Amino acid sequence: MRPAALDWSVENCTIARAMEVLGERWTLVVLREVFTGVRRFDDMRVRTGIPRQVLTNRLASLVEQGVLSREPYREPGSRLRHEYRLTEKGLDLWPVLVAVLGWGDRYLADAEGPPLSVTHRDCGAEVRAELRCADGHDVGRPRDVVPSPGPGARRRTP
């Protein structure tokens, strides 16, 4: 049976476009750092071991894409420097990071358990990504979802 998805173009696929922004190996590591409060270049470089030029490029790309903003700061007696802050667009990536964290914890954590946990500030319970439809129903399995062309879909031309 031929999948119906073959009738639709992927030229304007938003997953592919998102991966152009997020798909490089170090990008999610940089976002993890900023989400956990590490906002300064030298702190990120030392903590993660990302090569200086790679980190420079990743940060510049995330700023250019509007995921991060560069904010000036000056320590007393030092030159003006910049730290990186999440924009609204960047903050909207939080569920993506939580989902990747959950997947990594399930399949890749060391025997002692995961090295990072995220909890709800108000009650202390673990935070995890869950899917719901627009009407509020839990969607627990991939087979509970039906992919279909969206309003921006284009018919594939032979």
pLDDT tens series, the chain, 158 aa: 888 888 888 888 898 999 999 999 899 999 999 999 999 999 999 999 999 999 999 999 999 999 999 999 999 999 999 999 999 999 999 999 999 999 999 999 999 999 999 999 999 999 999 999 999 999 989 899 998 888 888 887 76
Separation of alpha carbons 10 and 127, rounded Å: 33
Token pair 């906002």 is found at 39
Separation of alpha carbons 29 and 51, rounded Å: 13
What are the structural domains of the chain?
A: 2-142 (1.10.10.10)
Residue 106 has, within 13 A of its CA and on its CB side, a CA count of: 8
- Count CB atoms within 10 A of the CB of residue 158: 3
Residue 80 is predicted with a pLDDT of 94
If you ran DSSP here, which 8-state letter would residue 79 be given?
Answer: -
If you ran DSSP here, which 8-state letter would residue 113 be given?
Answer: B
